[in-house]
Amino acid sequence: MKTVNHWIGGKAVEGTSGVHGPVTDPATGARTTQVAFASAGEVDAAVAAAKAAFATWGTSSLATRTSVLFAYRALLDRHREEIARLITAEHGKVHADALGEVARGLEIVELACGITTQLKGELSTQVSSRVDVAAIRQPLGVVAGITPFNFPAMVPLWMFPLAIACGNTFVLKPSEKDPSAALLLAELATEAGLPDGVLNVVNGDKTAVDRILEHPDIAAVSFVGSTPIARHIHTTATANGKRVQALGGAKNHMLVLPDADLDAAADAAVSAAYGSAGERCMAISAVVAVGDTGDKLVAKIRERAEKIRIGPGDDPASEMGPLITKAHRDKVASYVHGAAAQGAEVVLDGTGFTVEGYENGHWIGLSLLDKVPTDADAYRDEIFGPVLCVLRAETYEEGVALINASPWGNGTAVFTRDGGAARRFQLEVQAGMVGVNVPIPVPVGYHSFGGWKDSLFGDHHIYGNDGVHFYTRGKVVTTRWPDPEDGGVDLGFPSHR
Task: Rule CB under 6 A: say whether 180 interacts with ligand NAD.
Answer: no
Q: Where in 399-418 is the site for ligand NAD (CB under 6 A)?
A: 410
User: Binding residue for ligand NAD (CB under 6 A) from 229, 260, 323, 421?
Assistant: 229
Query: Binding-site residue total for ligand NAD (CB under 6 A)?
Result: 27
User: Quick one: which of 448, 439, 489, 495 has its CA closest to 471?
Assistant: 448
Task: Rule CB under 6 A: say whether 226 interacts with ligand NAD.
Answer: yes
Q: Give the shortest CB-159-to-ligand NAD separation in angstroms.
A: 11
Q: Tell me whether strands 433-436 and 411-415 are parallel, antiparallel or unpaired.
A: parallel
Task: Rule CB under 6 A: say whether 366 interacts with ligand NAD.
Answer: no
Task: Rule CB under 6 A: say whether 101 interacts with ligand NAD.
Answer: no
Q: Catalytic positions, please?
A: 281
Task: Rule CB under 6 A: say whether 224 interacts with ligand NAD.
Answer: yes
User: Quick one: which of 282, 314, 270 has its CA closest to 104?
Assistant: 282
Task: Rule CB under 6 A: say whether 236 interacts with ligand NAD.
Answer: no
Residue type for position 347: V
User: Binding residue for ligand NAD (CB under 6 A) from 68, 181, 209, 277?
Assistant: 209
Task: Rule CB under 6 A: say whether 335 interacts with ligand NAD.
Answer: no
User: Binding residue for ligand NAD (CB under 6 A) from 274, 384, 425, 463?
Assistant: 384
Please provide the distance, in angstroms rounded to a whole number, between the alpha carbons at the two ends of the chain: 73
Complex with ligand NAD: residue 110 or 214, whichever CB lies closer = 214
From 24-32, 202-210, 256-264, 330-338, span contacting ligand NAD (CB under 6 A)? 202-210
Cβ-proximal residue to ligand NAD, closest one: 225
Task: Rule CB under 6 A: say whether 15 interacts with ligand NAD.
Answer: no
Task: Let me know how long the chain is.
Answer: 497
CA atoms within 13 A on the CB side of 77: 10
> Contact at 8 Å (CB) between 322 and 332?
no
From 32-40, 71-79, 133-141, 242-250, span contacting ligand NAD (CB under 6 A)? 242-250
Task: Rule CB under 6 A: say whether 382 interacts with ligand NAD.
Answer: yes
Complex with ligand NAD: residue 274 or 384, whichever CB lies closer = 384
CA atoms within 13 A on the CB side of 291: 9
Cα distances (angstroms) measured from residue 310 to each of 149, 337, 395, 403, 466: 20, 20, 36, 30, 38
Q: Give the shortest CB-452-to-ligand NAD separation in angstroms.
A: 11
From 172-180, 185-193, 312-320, 414-422, span contacting ligand NAD (CB under 6 A)? 172-180
Cα separation, 126 vs 221, whole angstroms: 39
Task: Rule CB under 6 A: say whether 179 interacts with ligand NAD.
Answer: no
Task: Rule CB under 6 A: say whether 451 interacts with ligand NAD.
Answer: yes
Element (H, E) at 173: strand 169-173
Cα separation, 14 vs 271, whole angstroms: 41
Phi/psi class of residue 494: alpha, beta or left (left: φ > 0; alpha: ψ in -120 to 50)? Answer: beta
Contacts of 34 by beta carbon, 8 Å cutoff, 6+ apart: 1, 2, 3, 4, 20, 21, 22, 23
> Contact at 8 Å (CB) between 272 and 256?
no
User: Binding residue for ligand NAD (CB under 6 A) from 110, 196, 205, 315?
Assistant: 205
User: Binding residue for ligand NAD (CB under 6 A) from 46, 115, 247, 268?
Assistant: 247
Helices 62-78 and 180-191, packing angle to 10 deg? 130
CA atoms within 13 A on the CB side of 159: 33
Q: Which residues bind ligand NAD (CB under 6 A)?
A: 146-151, 155, 173, 175-176, 205-206, 209, 224-226, 229, 247-250, 281, 382, 384, 410, 451, 455
